[in-house]
Every structure is written in structure tokens, then in C-alpha cells.
Amino acid sequence: MRPLILAANWKMHLGPAGAAAFLREFLAGYHPASNREVWFFVPSVSVAAAAAALRDATAVRVGVQNVYWEPKGAFTGETSVPMAVEAGASAALVGHSERRHVFGETDAETGLKVRALLAADVIPVLCVGETLAERERDQTLSVVRRQLAVLDGLDRAALARLVIAYEPVWAIGTGRNATPADAAQVHAAIRTHLGTLGAAGDHVPILYGGSVKPGNAAELIGESEIDGLLVGGASLDPASWLAIVGARSD
């Protein structure tokens, strides 16, 4: 049984003090549920503060939004995996659409990051998804398969430790989102592709991200192929985030 993962991506918001204040308010209204986990991907400067605030919380995990694949060295501005772990992170986003399309991160670089995280026993959340132009050219599945190709060569045990997030670029921060059925179709294709790589596709959680809000969270997680949500803007308000975390598909 795959857990339901509700993951917040705070992007470049909430420094240490803001993170601590947010999490105090969140914890005041948070009610853990069985087989449901809440993950926070926070700015690297806020990882230690978030980890401290959530130290005693149940079914909660702290992650970073990006890492570099070398463990140390002359890489000004980067955060290594060991540094992220020392600060309290146990997961990391890899290949988020903003990293790809704003900062030019390549598929090859996402592959290096995935391997560095796995080597340190940190969960990589590999983000995949197509642009609007690619979707209109009916290239969604070919783009997603190309982005998943960075997993080629990983053994079954490594693949089983992954989380995948499908985030159509055209739906991120635009107010538009794929319908639950549209998202589920892509999720099913991803699961099938993972099987061709040797993964036990049925065991890999696949999240959906893209203009998720309290009003559509329950419908999205109601699809059997959607194992959770990766949420941006709506995760920055404690009340909104609590509504999403508590969303019920039934």
C-alpha cells in the first residue's frame, strides 16, 4: 500500500523565523492520519529551523528544494547532500520545472543529483512534466519518458526508494490544472515505464503538482493513480495547507 504524500514546496519563501512561525500555526491544527504523510520542501536556509519545529511531529518529513551532486568543493552558492542531511533534510526535490526552465538544469544533471541522494539514503522526488507547447504537440508521454530516462541503470532497490512528481509546466502557478482523469492517465503511463526499468511500479508513489488548492485536492487524490500532491502557492498559508492536508477523497 503506497502512502498518501502531501508535499509543500515553499519555493523562495519563508526564512527561518517565518518557517518556525508557520509550523507553530500548522501544528496547532494538524491531526495525523494513518497512511498519510506531510512533507515540507523548504528553502535551504530554513531546513534546520523546520526540522527543529517538527522534531516531535508524527508522519512529517523535511526536505530541500535542490542539491548539488558533489559532496563538497568550490561550488559557491550550492548545497551538498551531506550539508542538507546535517541540517535535518531527509528528502529533496530534483528537476523541478523551475530548476529546468528558469535555471537550465539538464536531464543529465538531474540524474547526477538522484544518484547522489540515493547514495546518502535521502529520498529523491524526481519532478517530470511537459510545457504547454509540448502538450499541444501531443508530446506529453515522450517528454516524461525522456525525463525518466535518467533512472536508467539504477537497480531495483534504488528505484524502490524514489518518489515521482508529475507537474505539467503549463499548470504551475497559472490557476489551470490537469483534470484528475488527465493526471491519472499520465501517472499510469509513468508507472508502466517504471516497470520497464525494473522498478516495482506499484510501490513507487507518484504525486501530482500544478495549481493544487483546497477546492480541488480531494478530487485529485480520489484518483487511484494519484498518490499525493506537490503544492506550491497554496502551501504558504497555514489554513489553506491544513485544508489540503486534511482533504478526503471519500
CATH for 103: 3.20.20.70
User: Which has the higher per-residue pLDDT, 193 or 114?
Assistant: 114
Alpha-carbon distance of 139 to 62, in angstroms, equals 34
In a domain, 36, yes or no: yes
In a domain, 222, yes or no: yes
On the question of pLDDT at 199 being above 70, the answer is no
On the question of pLDDT at 81 being above 90, the answer is yes
Mean pLDDT of 117-135: 95
Which of the residues are catalytic? 96, 167
Q: What is the pLDDT of residue 1?
A: 75
Question: What's the pLDDT band for 122 if we cut at 50, 70, 90?
Answer: very high
In a domain, 209, yes or no: yes
In a domain, 89, yes or no: yes
Cα–Cα nearest to 168, from 139, 194, 197, 199 = 139
Q: What is the pLDDT of residue 250?
A: 59
Q: What pTM was computed for the model? A: 0.95
The count of domains in the chain is 1
In a domain, 9, yes or no: yes
Work out the angle at residue 41's Cα, subtended by the Cα atoms of residues 96 and 234, and round it to the nearest 5 degrees: 85
| Structural domain that includes position 231 | 4-245
Q: Per residue in 209-220, pLDDT tens?
A: 988 999 999 999
In a domain, 250, yes or no: no
Q: Per residue in 84-121, pLDDT tens?
A: 999 999 999 999 999 999 999 999 999 999 999 999 99
